[in-house]
Structure 1
Amino acid sequence: MNNKKMTENSQLAATARMFSSVVVQELARQGRSRTFARLLGESALHEVVSGSAPLSAFFESAFALLTRKNFRYEYAYRAAVTHKILLGIHSLNTASMLSEFRIGTCKADLVILNGASTVYEIKSERDNLDRLPNQIAAYFKVFSRVNIITSENHIDAVLDSVPDDVGVLLLNSRLKISPVREAQDRLKDLCPLTLLDSLHRNEAFEILKYFGVPIPDVPNTRIHSELATIFSRLPPNKLHECMIRVLKETRSLLPLSELARALPKSLKPLAFSSSIRERDHERLIASLSTPVAEALTWA
Protein backbone atom coordinates (compact mmCIF):
# COMPACT_ATOMS: atom_id res chain seq x y z
CA MET A 1 0.00 0.00 0.00
CA ASN A 2 1.49 3.35 -1.02
CA ASN A 3 1.85 6.29 1.37
CA LYS A 4 -1.00 8.24 -0.22
CA LYS A 5 -3.42 5.35 0.23
CA MET A 6 -2.30 4.83 3.83
CA THR A 7 -2.87 8.51 4.54
CA GLU A 8 -6.36 8.40 2.99
CA ASN A 9 -7.27 5.35 5.06
CA SER A 10 -5.99 7.00 8.22
CA GLN A 11 -7.99 10.14 7.51
CA LEU A 12 -11.12 8.14 6.83
CA ALA A 13 -10.68 6.19 10.07
CA ALA A 14 -10.38 9.48 11.98
CA THR A 15 -13.61 10.67 10.33
CA ALA A 16 -15.40 7.49 11.39
CA ARG A 17 -14.25 7.90 15.00
CA MET A 18 -15.91 11.32 15.16
CA PHE A 19 -19.22 9.43 15.27
CA SER A 20 -18.58 7.96 18.69
CA SER A 21 -20.17 8.12 22.12
CA VAL A 22 -16.98 9.67 23.48
CA VAL A 23 -17.29 12.72 21.21
CA VAL A 24 -21.02 13.17 21.83
CA GLN A 25 -20.65 12.79 25.58
CA GLU A 26 -17.83 15.36 25.70
CA LEU A 27 -19.92 17.81 23.68
CA ALA A 28 -22.90 17.21 25.97
CA ARG A 29 -21.01 17.54 29.25
CA GLN A 30 -18.54 20.29 28.37
CA GLY A 31 -19.91 22.01 25.25
CA ARG A 32 -16.64 21.14 23.51
CA SER A 33 -14.66 18.01 22.69
CA ARG A 34 -10.89 17.67 22.65
CA THR A 35 -11.34 14.24 21.08
CA PHE A 36 -13.34 15.74 18.21
CA ALA A 37 -10.74 18.50 17.67
CA ARG A 38 -7.94 15.95 17.50
CA LEU A 39 -9.85 13.75 15.06
CA LEU A 40 -10.80 16.77 12.97
CA GLY A 41 -7.12 17.54 12.54
CA GLU A 42 -6.27 13.92 11.72
CA SER A 43 -9.06 13.71 9.15
CA ALA A 44 -7.87 16.86 7.33
CA LEU A 45 -11.53 17.67 6.61
CA HIS A 46 -11.05 21.16 8.07
CA GLU A 47 -8.96 21.88 4.97
CA VAL A 48 -11.85 21.23 2.57
CA VAL A 49 -14.85 22.64 4.47
CA SER A 50 -15.61 26.22 5.37
CA GLY A 51 -14.26 27.23 8.77
CA SER A 52 -17.46 29.16 9.38
CA ALA A 53 -19.66 26.09 8.86
CA PRO A 54 -21.39 24.94 12.08
CA LEU A 55 -20.59 21.48 13.42
CA SER A 56 -24.14 20.36 12.63
CA ALA A 57 -23.47 20.86 8.91
CA PHE A 58 -19.96 19.43 9.23
CA PHE A 59 -21.26 16.16 10.71
CA GLU A 60 -23.70 15.82 7.81
CA SER A 61 -20.87 16.23 5.28
CA ALA A 62 -18.59 13.84 7.16
CA PHE A 63 -21.34 11.23 7.34
CA ALA A 64 -21.92 11.50 3.59
CA LEU A 65 -18.26 10.60 3.12
CA LEU A 66 -18.61 7.52 5.33
CA THR A 67 -21.57 6.24 3.32
CA ARG A 68 -19.72 6.05 0.01
CA LYS A 69 -19.53 2.53 -1.38
CA ASN A 70 -16.34 0.69 -0.40
CA PHE A 71 -15.67 3.33 2.28
CA ARG A 72 -18.52 2.45 4.61
CA TYR A 73 -17.75 1.99 8.26
CA GLU A 74 -20.02 0.28 10.76
CA TYR A 75 -21.71 3.55 11.71
CA ALA A 76 -23.30 3.79 8.25
CA TYR A 77 -25.02 0.47 8.94
CA ARG A 78 -26.11 1.54 12.42
CA ALA A 79 -27.61 4.69 10.95
CA ALA A 80 -29.47 2.70 8.32
CA VAL A 81 -31.02 0.35 10.90
CA THR A 82 -31.93 3.29 13.13
CA HIS A 83 -33.58 5.36 10.41
CA LYS A 84 -35.05 2.65 8.20
CA ILE A 85 -36.19 0.13 10.82
CA LEU A 86 -36.42 1.66 14.31
CA LEU A 87 -37.83 5.01 13.16
CA GLY A 88 -39.12 3.92 9.74
CA ILE A 89 -41.00 0.68 10.43
CA HIS A 90 -41.46 1.03 14.19
CA SER A 91 -41.52 4.07 16.47
CA LEU A 92 -40.12 5.06 19.84
CA ASN A 93 -43.62 4.60 21.29
CA THR A 94 -43.75 0.91 20.43
CA ALA A 95 -40.14 -0.23 20.20
CA SER A 96 -36.76 0.20 21.82
CA MET A 97 -33.25 -0.42 20.57
CA LEU A 98 -30.28 -1.81 22.46
CA SER A 99 -26.76 -1.09 21.29
CA GLU A 100 -23.70 -3.29 21.96
CA PHE A 101 -25.79 -5.66 24.10
CA ARG A 102 -23.48 -8.13 25.82
CA ILE A 103 -24.30 -11.85 25.57
CA GLY A 104 -21.59 -14.00 27.08
CA THR A 105 -18.35 -13.06 25.32
CA CYS A 106 -20.21 -11.50 22.37
CA LYS A 107 -21.87 -8.13 21.84
CA ALA A 108 -24.92 -7.82 19.61
CA ASP A 109 -24.48 -4.69 17.50
CA LEU A 110 -28.15 -3.67 17.65
CA VAL A 111 -31.29 -5.28 19.05
CA ILE A 112 -34.78 -3.97 18.36
CA LEU A 113 -37.54 -4.92 20.77
CA ASN A 114 -41.18 -4.59 19.83
CA GLY A 115 -43.46 -7.63 20.04
CA ALA A 116 -40.40 -9.73 19.25
CA SER A 117 -36.67 -9.43 19.86
CA THR A 118 -34.48 -9.07 16.78
CA VAL A 119 -30.70 -8.83 16.58
CA TYR A 120 -29.07 -6.87 13.76
CA GLU A 121 -25.47 -7.99 13.43
CA ILE A 122 -23.41 -5.75 11.16
CA LYS A 123 -20.82 -7.13 8.77
CA SER A 124 -19.50 -4.17 6.83
CA GLU A 125 -17.10 -4.15 3.92
CA ARG A 126 -14.29 -3.87 6.45
CA ASP A 127 -15.30 -6.88 8.57
CA ASN A 128 -14.47 -10.54 8.22
CA LEU A 129 -16.90 -13.36 9.01
CA ASP A 130 -14.70 -15.51 11.23
CA ARG A 131 -16.68 -14.94 14.43
CA LEU A 132 -20.13 -15.08 12.86
CA PRO A 133 -21.07 -18.71 13.78
CA ASN A 134 -20.22 -18.16 17.46
CA GLN A 135 -22.03 -14.83 17.49
CA ILE A 136 -25.22 -16.32 16.04
CA ALA A 137 -25.18 -19.18 18.54
CA ALA A 138 -24.83 -16.69 21.40
CA TYR A 139 -27.60 -14.41 20.17
CA PHE A 140 -30.14 -17.23 19.93
CA LYS A 141 -29.58 -17.96 23.62
CA VAL A 142 -31.34 -14.66 24.45
CA PHE A 143 -33.25 -13.36 21.42
CA SER A 144 -35.75 -14.92 19.03
CA ARG A 145 -34.60 -13.55 15.66
CA VAL A 146 -31.21 -12.78 14.16
CA ASN A 147 -30.50 -10.70 11.05
CA ILE A 148 -27.12 -10.20 9.44
CA ILE A 149 -26.95 -6.87 7.63
CA THR A 150 -24.08 -6.79 5.20
CA SER A 151 -22.62 -5.48 1.96
CA GLU A 152 -22.58 -6.85 -1.57
CA ASN A 153 -19.07 -8.25 -1.21
CA HIS A 154 -20.13 -10.43 1.76
CA ILE A 155 -23.63 -11.46 0.76
CA ASP A 156 -22.83 -14.83 -0.82
CA ALA A 157 -20.45 -15.85 1.95
CA VAL A 158 -23.00 -14.90 4.62
CA LEU A 159 -25.74 -16.90 2.94
CA ASP A 160 -23.44 -19.92 2.76
CA SER A 161 -22.27 -19.71 6.36
CA VAL A 162 -25.38 -19.03 8.46
CA PRO A 163 -28.38 -21.26 9.27
CA ASP A 164 -31.48 -20.98 7.09
CA ASP A 165 -33.51 -19.36 9.88
CA VAL A 166 -31.08 -16.44 10.15
CA GLY A 167 -32.21 -13.41 8.17
CA VAL A 168 -29.88 -11.74 5.69
CA LEU A 169 -30.21 -8.06 4.78
CA LEU A 170 -28.30 -6.14 2.12
CA LEU A 171 -27.34 -2.49 2.55
CA ASN A 172 -27.06 -1.25 -1.00
CA SER A 173 -25.09 1.66 -2.42
CA ARG A 174 -28.04 4.04 -1.81
CA LEU A 175 -28.21 3.03 1.87
CA LYS A 176 -31.44 1.14 1.37
CA ILE A 177 -31.96 -2.12 3.26
CA SER A 178 -33.17 -4.98 1.10
CA PRO A 179 -34.23 -8.33 2.58
CA VAL A 180 -32.42 -11.25 0.95
CA ARG A 181 -33.79 -13.84 3.35
CA GLU A 182 -36.37 -13.39 6.11
CA ALA A 183 -35.43 -14.18 9.72
CA GLN A 184 -37.45 -16.90 11.43
CA ASP A 185 -38.42 -17.10 15.10
CA ARG A 186 -36.22 -19.52 17.00
CA LEU A 187 -36.70 -19.90 20.73
CA LYS A 188 -35.59 -23.52 21.09
CA ASP A 189 -32.05 -22.43 21.98
CA LEU A 190 -33.04 -19.80 24.56
CA CYS A 191 -30.93 -20.20 27.69
CA PRO A 192 -32.41 -18.72 30.88
CA LEU A 193 -29.00 -18.47 32.58
CA THR A 194 -27.40 -16.66 29.63
CA LEU A 195 -30.39 -14.33 29.56
CA LEU A 196 -30.00 -13.64 33.28
CA ASP A 197 -26.31 -12.82 32.88
CA SER A 198 -27.16 -10.30 30.14
CA LEU A 199 -29.52 -8.31 32.38
CA HIS A 200 -28.97 -5.67 35.03
CA ARG A 201 -29.96 -6.94 38.46
CA ASN A 202 -32.95 -4.60 38.74
CA GLU A 203 -34.20 -5.99 35.40
CA ALA A 204 -33.97 -9.53 36.73
CA PHE A 205 -35.99 -8.44 39.77
CA GLU A 206 -38.66 -6.92 37.50
CA ILE A 207 -38.97 -10.20 35.61
CA LEU A 208 -39.54 -12.02 38.90
CA LYS A 209 -42.37 -9.58 39.64
CA TYR A 210 -44.03 -10.48 36.33
CA PHE A 211 -43.96 -14.12 37.38
CA GLY A 212 -45.18 -13.33 40.89
CA VAL A 213 -41.95 -14.68 42.37
CA PRO A 214 -40.58 -12.87 45.46
CA ILE A 215 -37.11 -11.36 45.24
CA PRO A 216 -34.70 -13.62 47.16
CA ASP A 217 -33.98 -12.32 50.66
CA VAL A 218 -30.32 -13.32 50.78
CA PRO A 219 -26.97 -11.50 51.08
CA ASN A 220 -25.54 -9.90 47.95
CA THR A 221 -22.92 -12.62 47.74
CA ARG A 222 -25.66 -15.19 47.15
CA ILE A 223 -28.15 -13.23 45.07
CA HIS A 224 -26.84 -14.31 41.67
CA SER A 225 -26.87 -18.01 42.50
CA GLU A 226 -30.41 -17.71 43.88
CA LEU A 227 -31.55 -15.87 40.74
CA ALA A 228 -29.89 -18.51 38.57
CA THR A 229 -31.81 -21.26 40.37
CA ILE A 230 -35.11 -19.42 39.90
CA PHE A 231 -34.49 -18.46 36.25
CA SER A 232 -33.54 -22.04 35.33
CA ARG A 233 -37.03 -23.14 36.37
CA LEU A 234 -38.96 -20.49 34.44
CA PRO A 235 -40.64 -21.47 31.13
CA PRO A 236 -38.33 -20.14 28.37
CA ASN A 237 -41.07 -18.76 26.08
CA LYS A 238 -42.73 -16.84 28.89
CA LEU A 239 -39.36 -15.69 30.19
CA HIS A 240 -38.50 -14.28 26.77
CA GLU A 241 -41.83 -12.45 26.63
CA CYS A 242 -41.25 -10.91 30.07
CA MET A 243 -37.70 -9.94 29.15
CA ILE A 244 -39.01 -7.92 26.18
CA ARG A 245 -41.54 -6.12 28.38
CA VAL A 246 -38.96 -5.28 31.03
CA LEU A 247 -36.23 -4.11 28.64
CA LYS A 248 -38.69 -1.92 26.71
CA GLU A 249 -39.46 -0.21 30.03
CA THR A 250 -35.99 0.01 31.56
CA ARG A 251 -34.23 0.94 28.32
CA SER A 252 -36.91 3.03 26.65
CA LEU A 253 -35.67 5.61 24.17
CA LEU A 254 -38.65 7.92 24.61
CA PRO A 255 -36.76 10.27 26.98
CA LEU A 256 -34.35 10.91 24.09
CA SER A 257 -36.98 11.61 21.44
CA GLU A 258 -36.92 15.42 21.84
CA LEU A 259 -33.12 15.47 21.73
CA ALA A 260 -33.04 13.27 18.64
CA ARG A 261 -35.44 15.59 16.81
CA ALA A 262 -33.08 18.52 17.44
CA LEU A 263 -29.97 16.73 16.15
CA PRO A 264 -28.83 16.48 12.52
CA LYS A 265 -29.84 13.20 10.92
CA SER A 266 -26.28 11.90 10.99
CA LEU A 267 -26.13 12.11 14.80
CA LYS A 268 -29.54 10.69 15.70
CA PRO A 269 -28.23 7.10 15.98
CA LEU A 270 -25.62 8.27 18.50
CA ALA A 271 -28.34 9.85 20.63
CA PHE A 272 -29.89 6.41 21.03
CA SER A 273 -26.65 4.62 21.88
CA SER A 274 -24.86 7.11 24.15
CA SER A 275 -25.45 7.85 27.81
CA ILE A 276 -26.47 11.50 27.66
CA ARG A 277 -27.97 13.04 30.78
CA GLU A 278 -31.14 15.04 30.29
CA ARG A 279 -29.58 18.12 31.84
CA ASP A 280 -26.88 18.01 29.13
CA HIS A 281 -29.24 17.92 26.14
CA GLU A 282 -29.33 21.69 25.60
CA ARG A 283 -25.56 21.97 25.89
CA LEU A 284 -25.07 19.29 23.23
CA ILE A 285 -27.49 21.01 20.86
CA ALA A 286 -25.83 24.39 21.44
CA SER A 287 -22.35 22.95 20.81
CA LEU A 288 -23.36 21.97 17.29
CA SER A 289 -23.63 25.63 16.28
CA THR A 290 -19.89 26.05 16.93
CA PRO A 291 -17.97 26.96 13.74
CA VAL A 292 -15.50 24.35 12.52
CA ALA A 293 -12.58 26.78 12.84
CA GLU A 294 -13.38 27.36 16.52
CA ALA A 295 -13.78 23.63 17.19
CA LEU A 296 -10.21 23.11 15.97
CA THR A 297 -8.95 25.24 18.88
CA TRP A 298 -10.46 22.82 21.43
CA ALA A 299 -7.39 20.61 21.07
Structure 2
Amino acid sequence: MNMDKSLNKLFTIKSLNNLIYERNVDNYKKIVNKLNGKPNEMLNLQNLKLIYKYMSVHHRNEYFYKNTLLNKILLGRHSINTSTAIRELPIDGNILDFLIVNGTGSVYEIKTELDNLQRLKKQLDAYYRAFSFCNVVTDETHLKEIKRDINIPELGILVLTKRNTLHEEKKAKEKTNHLNHKTMFRILRKYEFENILMNEFGYLPDINSLRYYDECFKMFRHINIFHAQKLMLAQLKRRCNINSNNLGSFNNVPKEIKFIIYFSNYKKNDFNKLNSFLYKKTKEM
Protein backbone atom coordinates (compact mmCIF):
# COMPACT_ATOMS: atom_id res chain seq x y z
CA MET A 1 0.00 0.00 0.00
CA ASN A 2 1.36 3.40 -0.99
CA MET A 3 0.37 5.43 2.07
CA ASP A 4 1.19 8.85 0.58
CA LYS A 5 -1.01 8.33 -2.49
CA SER A 6 -3.81 6.95 -0.33
CA LEU A 7 -3.68 9.99 1.95
CA ASN A 8 -3.74 12.36 -1.03
CA LYS A 9 -6.91 10.66 -2.26
CA LEU A 10 -8.61 10.65 1.13
CA PHE A 11 -8.78 14.36 1.95
CA THR A 12 -10.90 15.51 -1.00
CA ILE A 13 -14.53 16.59 -1.30
CA LYS A 14 -15.35 13.57 -3.46
CA SER A 15 -13.71 11.12 -1.08
CA LEU A 16 -15.40 12.56 2.02
CA ASN A 17 -18.79 12.50 0.31
CA ASN A 18 -18.20 8.86 -0.62
CA LEU A 19 -17.49 8.13 3.03
CA ILE A 20 -20.47 9.91 4.57
CA TYR A 21 -22.84 8.40 2.00
CA GLU A 22 -21.00 5.03 2.25
CA ARG A 23 -20.41 4.67 -1.49
CA ASN A 24 -16.71 3.79 -1.39
CA VAL A 25 -14.90 3.27 1.91
CA ASP A 26 -12.10 0.90 0.86
CA ASN A 27 -9.25 3.43 0.75
CA TYR A 28 -10.29 4.90 4.10
CA LYS A 29 -10.45 1.48 5.77
CA LYS A 30 -7.06 0.48 4.37
CA ILE A 31 -5.46 3.60 5.85
CA VAL A 32 -7.19 3.11 9.19
CA ASN A 33 -6.17 -0.55 9.36
CA LYS A 34 -2.55 0.36 8.72
CA LEU A 35 -2.43 3.07 11.41
CA ASN A 36 -4.69 1.64 14.05
CA GLY A 37 -4.52 -1.81 15.61
CA LYS A 38 -8.19 -1.74 16.61
CA PRO A 39 -9.86 0.51 14.04
CA ASN A 40 -13.29 -1.05 14.24
CA GLU A 41 -13.72 -0.13 17.90
CA MET A 42 -13.11 3.58 17.31
CA LEU A 43 -15.37 6.28 16.00
CA ASN A 44 -14.66 7.62 12.51
CA LEU A 45 -13.93 10.99 14.12
CA GLN A 46 -11.19 9.39 16.21
CA ASN A 47 -9.75 7.60 13.20
CA LEU A 48 -9.73 10.79 11.10
CA LYS A 49 -7.87 12.58 13.87
CA LEU A 50 -5.39 9.70 14.02
CA ILE A 51 -4.81 9.87 10.26
CA TYR A 52 -4.39 13.65 10.35
CA LYS A 53 -1.90 13.39 13.20
CA TYR A 54 0.11 10.90 11.16
CA MET A 55 0.08 13.34 8.22
CA SER A 56 1.30 16.17 10.46
CA VAL A 57 4.50 14.21 11.08
CA HIS A 58 5.04 12.05 8.00
CA HIS A 59 3.18 13.52 5.03
CA ARG A 60 2.45 17.25 5.11
CA ASN A 61 0.91 17.40 1.67
CA GLU A 62 -0.84 20.32 -0.01
CA TYR A 63 -4.10 19.55 1.74
CA PHE A 64 -2.39 19.75 5.12
CA TYR A 65 -0.98 23.19 4.24
CA LYS A 66 -4.29 24.48 2.91
CA ASN A 67 -6.22 23.21 5.91
CA THR A 68 -3.66 24.83 8.22
CA LEU A 69 -4.04 28.17 6.41
CA LEU A 70 -7.82 28.01 6.65
CA ASN A 71 -7.77 27.17 10.37
CA LYS A 72 -5.00 29.50 11.47
CA ILE A 73 -5.52 32.51 9.18
CA LEU A 74 -9.11 32.62 7.91
CA LEU A 75 -10.67 31.25 11.10
CA GLY A 76 -7.90 32.24 13.52
CA ARG A 77 -6.98 35.79 12.51
CA HIS A 78 -9.98 36.93 10.48
CA SER A 79 -13.73 36.55 10.79
CA ILE A 80 -15.62 34.14 8.59
CA ASN A 81 -18.36 36.78 8.45
CA THR A 82 -16.12 39.42 6.87
CA SER A 83 -13.55 37.36 4.93
CA THR A 84 -13.78 34.81 2.13
CA ALA A 85 -11.30 32.09 1.18
CA ILE A 86 -10.92 30.98 -2.43
CA ARG A 87 -8.94 27.96 -3.57
CA GLU A 88 -7.34 27.00 -6.87
CA LEU A 89 -8.09 30.23 -8.69
CA PRO A 90 -6.94 30.22 -12.37
CA ILE A 91 -4.75 33.23 -13.19
CA ASP A 92 -3.03 33.61 -16.57
CA GLY A 93 -2.24 29.91 -16.97
CA ASN A 94 -1.42 29.37 -13.28
CA ILE A 95 -3.50 28.04 -10.39
CA LEU A 96 -3.38 30.15 -7.24
CA ASP A 97 -3.45 27.82 -4.25
CA PHE A 98 -5.23 29.91 -1.63
CA LEU A 99 -6.62 33.44 -1.46
CA ILE A 100 -8.23 35.34 1.40
CA VAL A 101 -10.37 38.33 0.48
CA ASN A 102 -11.51 40.94 2.99
CA GLY A 103 -10.59 44.57 2.47
CA THR A 104 -7.67 43.37 0.35
CA GLY A 105 -6.75 40.16 -1.41
CA SER A 106 -3.94 38.15 0.18
CA VAL A 107 -2.36 35.40 -1.91
CA TYR A 108 -0.87 32.27 -0.31
CA GLU A 109 1.16 30.18 -2.74
CA ILE A 110 2.07 26.83 -1.19
CA LYS A 111 5.38 25.07 -1.69
CA THR A 112 5.45 21.98 0.49
CA GLU A 113 8.52 19.94 1.26
CA LEU A 114 7.26 17.63 -1.51
CA ASP A 115 7.36 20.42 -4.16
CA ASN A 116 10.08 22.08 -6.20
CA LEU A 117 10.38 25.82 -6.80
CA GLN A 118 10.89 25.87 -10.57
CA ARG A 119 7.67 27.74 -11.42
CA LEU A 120 7.42 29.96 -8.35
CA LYS A 121 8.72 33.20 -9.89
CA LYS A 122 6.40 32.86 -12.89
CA GLN A 123 3.44 32.15 -10.61
CA LEU A 124 4.11 35.18 -8.42
CA ASP A 125 4.50 37.44 -11.47
CA ALA A 126 1.01 36.38 -12.56
CA TYR A 127 -0.58 36.85 -9.13
CA TYR A 128 0.80 40.38 -8.76
CA ARG A 129 -1.15 41.35 -11.89
CA ALA A 130 -4.37 40.99 -9.87
CA PHE A 131 -3.45 41.10 -6.17
CA SER A 132 -1.23 43.44 -4.18
CA PHE A 133 -0.24 41.16 -1.28
CA CYS A 134 1.46 37.83 -1.98
CA ASN A 135 2.91 35.23 0.37
CA VAL A 136 4.78 31.99 -0.12
CA VAL A 137 3.93 29.32 2.44
CA THR A 138 6.67 26.77 2.66
CA ASP A 139 8.71 24.29 4.65
CA GLU A 140 11.94 25.15 6.43
CA THR A 141 13.91 23.18 3.83
CA HIS A 142 12.88 25.64 1.07
CA LEU A 143 13.37 28.83 3.06
CA LYS A 144 16.99 29.55 2.13
CA GLU A 145 16.41 28.95 -1.58
CA ILE A 146 13.33 31.20 -1.71
CA LYS A 147 15.10 34.06 0.07
CA ARG A 148 18.10 33.68 -2.26
CA ASP A 149 16.33 33.25 -5.62
CA ILE A 150 13.07 35.20 -5.41
CA ASN A 151 14.03 38.85 -5.54
CA ILE A 152 10.70 40.46 -4.68
CA PRO A 153 11.10 42.82 -1.70
CA GLU A 154 7.34 42.96 -1.07
CA LEU A 155 6.89 39.17 -0.95
CA GLY A 156 5.75 37.69 2.35
CA ILE A 157 7.13 34.35 3.55
CA LEU A 158 5.37 32.02 5.98
CA VAL A 159 7.04 28.87 7.26
CA LEU A 160 5.11 25.83 8.46
CA THR A 161 7.39 24.77 11.30
CA LYS A 162 8.04 21.24 12.48
CA ARG A 163 5.59 21.96 15.30
CA ASN A 164 2.97 22.78 12.64
CA THR A 165 2.74 26.45 13.56
CA LEU A 166 2.89 29.24 10.97
CA HIS A 167 5.93 31.42 11.47
CA GLU A 168 5.94 34.77 9.64
CA GLU A 169 9.49 34.94 8.36
CA LYS A 170 8.76 38.06 6.32
CA LYS A 171 5.62 40.19 6.27
CA ALA A 172 4.01 40.86 2.89
CA LYS A 173 3.99 44.47 1.71
CA GLU A 174 1.76 46.08 -0.89
CA LYS A 175 2.96 45.85 -4.51
CA THR A 176 0.80 47.54 -7.14
CA ASN A 177 3.04 48.35 -10.10
CA HIS A 178 2.13 45.17 -12.01
CA LEU A 179 -1.68 45.37 -11.75
CA ASN A 180 -3.30 44.52 -15.05
CA HIS A 181 -6.89 45.04 -16.22
CA LYS A 182 -6.90 41.97 -18.47
CA THR A 183 -5.73 39.62 -15.74
CA MET A 184 -8.35 40.89 -13.30
CA PHE A 185 -11.11 40.71 -15.90
CA ARG A 186 -10.26 37.10 -16.76
CA ILE A 187 -10.63 36.11 -13.10
CA LEU A 188 -14.21 37.35 -12.98
CA ARG A 189 -17.19 35.20 -13.90
CA LYS A 190 -19.66 36.58 -16.43
CA TYR A 191 -22.24 37.69 -13.88
CA GLU A 192 -19.48 39.30 -11.80
CA PHE A 193 -18.08 41.55 -14.51
CA GLU A 194 -21.63 42.34 -15.59
CA ASN A 195 -22.41 43.47 -12.03
CA ILE A 196 -19.36 45.74 -12.11
CA LEU A 197 -20.17 47.26 -15.49
CA MET A 198 -23.82 47.87 -14.63
CA ASN A 199 -22.86 49.57 -11.36
CA GLU A 200 -20.14 51.68 -12.99
CA PHE A 201 -21.72 52.55 -16.35
CA GLY A 202 -25.40 51.74 -15.97
CA TYR A 203 -25.56 49.53 -19.07
CA LEU A 204 -24.09 46.48 -20.80
CA PRO A 205 -23.01 46.24 -24.45
CA ASP A 206 -25.91 45.65 -26.84
CA ILE A 207 -23.97 43.49 -29.26
CA ASN A 208 -23.88 39.94 -30.63
CA SER A 209 -22.51 37.19 -28.40
CA LEU A 210 -19.29 36.74 -30.41
CA ARG A 211 -18.11 40.25 -29.55
CA TYR A 212 -19.83 40.64 -26.18
CA TYR A 213 -16.89 39.56 -23.98
CA ASP A 214 -14.42 41.83 -25.79
CA GLU A 215 -16.75 44.80 -25.59
CA CYS A 216 -17.26 44.23 -21.87
CA PHE A 217 -13.51 44.21 -21.38
CA LYS A 218 -13.14 47.47 -23.31
CA MET A 219 -15.50 49.05 -20.79
CA PHE A 220 -13.72 47.46 -17.81
CA ARG A 221 -10.28 48.72 -18.85
CA HIS A 222 -11.53 52.31 -18.69
CA ILE A 223 -11.98 51.95 -14.93
CA ASN A 224 -9.06 53.23 -12.86
CA ILE A 225 -6.81 50.23 -12.16
CA PHE A 226 -6.96 50.56 -8.36
CA HIS A 227 -10.72 51.01 -8.40
CA ALA A 228 -11.03 48.04 -10.77
CA GLN A 229 -9.09 45.90 -8.30
CA LYS A 230 -11.38 47.02 -5.48
CA LEU A 231 -14.45 46.13 -7.55
CA MET A 232 -12.98 42.74 -8.48
CA LEU A 233 -12.27 41.96 -4.81
CA ALA A 234 -15.82 42.89 -3.84
CA GLN A 235 -17.16 40.34 -6.33
CA LEU A 236 -14.72 37.63 -5.22
CA LYS A 237 -15.69 38.19 -1.60
CA ARG A 238 -19.21 37.05 -2.43
CA ARG A 239 -17.95 33.59 -3.43
CA CYS A 240 -18.56 32.07 -0.03
CA ASN A 241 -20.55 28.95 0.79
CA ILE A 242 -20.76 29.68 4.52
CA ASN A 243 -23.68 31.86 5.58
CA SER A 244 -26.14 32.34 8.44
CA ASN A 245 -27.97 29.16 7.43
CA ASN A 246 -24.99 26.82 7.84
CA LEU A 247 -22.49 28.72 10.02
CA GLY A 248 -23.50 26.87 13.19
CA SER A 249 -23.06 23.50 11.51
CA PHE A 250 -19.73 24.55 10.01
CA ASN A 251 -18.42 25.70 13.40
CA ASN A 252 -18.96 22.16 14.72
CA VAL A 253 -16.91 20.54 11.95
CA PRO A 254 -13.62 19.08 13.27
CA LYS A 255 -10.54 21.11 12.33
CA GLU A 256 -9.06 18.19 10.39
CA ILE A 257 -11.69 18.53 7.63
CA LYS A 258 -12.60 22.24 7.87
CA PHE A 259 -11.02 22.99 4.48
CA ILE A 260 -13.05 20.31 2.71
CA ILE A 261 -16.36 21.39 4.22
CA TYR A 262 -15.73 25.12 3.68
CA PHE A 263 -15.63 24.53 -0.08
CA SER A 264 -18.32 21.84 -0.24
CA ASN A 265 -21.54 23.89 -0.38
CA TYR A 266 -23.09 21.56 2.19
CA LYS A 267 -26.79 21.74 2.96
CA LYS A 268 -28.54 20.70 6.17
CA ASN A 269 -28.88 17.08 5.08
CA ASP A 270 -25.18 16.88 4.18
CA PHE A 271 -24.17 18.17 7.62
CA ASN A 272 -26.50 15.64 9.23
CA LYS A 273 -24.92 12.82 7.22
CA LEU A 274 -21.43 14.07 8.10
CA ASN A 275 -22.30 14.13 11.79
CA SER A 276 -23.72 10.63 11.58
CA PHE A 277 -20.54 9.39 9.89
CA LEU A 278 -18.20 11.03 12.42
CA TYR A 279 -19.93 9.50 15.41
CA LYS A 280 -20.33 6.05 13.92
CA LYS A 281 -17.85 3.26 14.58
CA THR A 282 -15.81 2.17 11.59
CA LYS A 283 -17.09 -1.38 11.95
CA GLU A 284 -20.64 -0.12 11.35
CA MET A 285 -19.81 1.05 7.84
What is the TM-score when the length of structure 2 is the normalising length? 0.91
Correspondence 1:11 to 2:3: yes
Name 1:4's counterpart in structure 2. none
* Matched AA of 1:258: G
| Cα gap change, 1:186 to 1:210, in 2 (>3 Å) | farther
Name 2:99's counterpart in structure 1. 111
Percent of pairs with identical residues: 24
Mapped to 1, the partners of 2:133 and 2:223 lie a distance apart of 20
Secondary structure of the equivalent of 1:234? coil
Secondary structure of the equivalent of 1:153? helix
Name 1:281's counterpart in structure 2. 271
1:246 corresponds to which of 220, 235, 259: 235
Name 1:259's counterpart in structure 2. 249
Give 1:184-223 correspondences, 5 Å limit. 184-223=173-212
**Distance apart, 1:42 and its partner CA:** 5.8
Mapped to 2, the partners of 1:106 and 1:137 lie a distance apart of 10
* Matched AA of 2:164: L
Correspondence 1:164 to 2:156: no
Name 2:82's counterpart in structure 1. 94
Secondary structure of the equivalent of 1:99? strand
| Cα gap change, 1:279 to 1:220, in 2 (>3 Å) | farther
* Matched AA of 2:71: H
**Distance apart, 1:243 and its partner CA:** 1.3
Which one scores higher on RCO, CA 8 angstroms, separation ≥ 6? 1
Mapped to 2, the partners of 1:45 and 1:261 lie a distance apart of 30
Mapped to 1, the partners of 2:64 and 2:195 lie a distance apart of 35
| Cα gap change, 1:15 to 1:43, in 2 (>3 Å) | farther
| Cα gap change, 1:108 to 1:134, in 2 (>3 Å) | same
Name 2:15's counterpart in structure 1. 23
Secondary structure of the equivalent of 2:134? strand
| Cα gap change, 1:225 to 1:114, in 2 (>3 Å) | same
**Distance apart, 1:15 and its partner CA:** 2.0
Mapped to 2, the partners of 1:41 and 1:50 lie a distance apart of 10
RMSD, aligned CA: 2.0
**Distance apart, 1:292 and its partner CA:** 1.9
What is the TM-score when the length of structure 1 is the normalising length? 0.87
Name 2:260's counterpart in structure 1. 270
Name 1:146's counterpart in structure 2. 134
**Distance apart, 1:277 and its partner CA:** 4.4
